[in-house]
Amino acid sequence: MPRWWVGGSGAPANYVGLGDTLCRMPTVSITKTTIAALLVLACAACGQSEPVEEAVSDPVAVPAPPSSRAIFVLPEDGATVQSPVRLEFGTEDFQIAAVPEGTVTEPRADMGHHHVAIDTECLPTGTPIPRAAPWVHFGDGSNVIDMQLPAGPHTLTLQIGDDLHETIEGLCTTISIDVTE
């Protein structure tokens, strides 16, 4: 194929037209060259000799608003109950929603879902909530479960996690119950 292509018809897709003449330089190379030239001009206009890359920081977990809190609706703290135990929970001043479908790479701000654990305490802020006992995940946004618990005293923990299942500052609570036979 000739180095220069004269005429507009029959030219390969990666040839760039210059009037009636087509050259063999791929469009991608021209685009990259143009962008590089514009960056040099922009930096020169700002008094810098080279382009400066911006530092990109890792996302930081944002705490829930101070008025937000996780709550048990049922049972009440200190209650004596029979198994199965109905657990109902919620939040105040914080939105509960199902985890989005597919791969989640960043959590949505001011939004999370419930996690309940039996006989354990709140996890530190920013900690991934294990997908194993004693934790039960409610990634579908639900807030009720009937749980079989053995007789005796138990600590119930409600912890809100973000879309990455990491704990959110200020959104954990524990209550104590006594299960009778």
Q: Where do the structural domains in the chain lie, given as residue ranges?
A: 4-45, 69-180
Structurally, at CATH architecture level, domain 69-180 sits in: Sandwich (2.60)
Average pLDDT over residues 163-169: 95
Average pLDDT in the chain: 76
- Please report, for residues 43, 55, 61, 71, 106, the alpha-carbon distance to residue 58 in angstroms, rounded to integers and kept in the order given: 26, 10, 10, 31, 11
- pLDDT tens-digit series, residues 89-116: 999 999 999 999 999 899 998 899 999 9
Residue type, 44: A
- pLDDT tens-digit series, residues 116-143: 999 999 999 999 999 999 999 999 999 9
Comparing 22 with 75, which gets the higher pLDDT?
75
Predicted pLDDT at 169: 94
Instruction: Name, in order, each residue with C-beta under 8 angstroms of 180's C-beta and a sequence gap of 6 or more.
Output: 80, 81, 82, 151
- For residue 36, is it left (φ>0), alpha (ψ between -120 and 50) or beta? alpha
Residue type, 123: L
End-to-end CA distance of the chain: 89
> In which element (H, E) is residue 29 found?
helix 27-45
- pLDDT tens-digit series, residues 30-46: 344 444 444 444 444 44
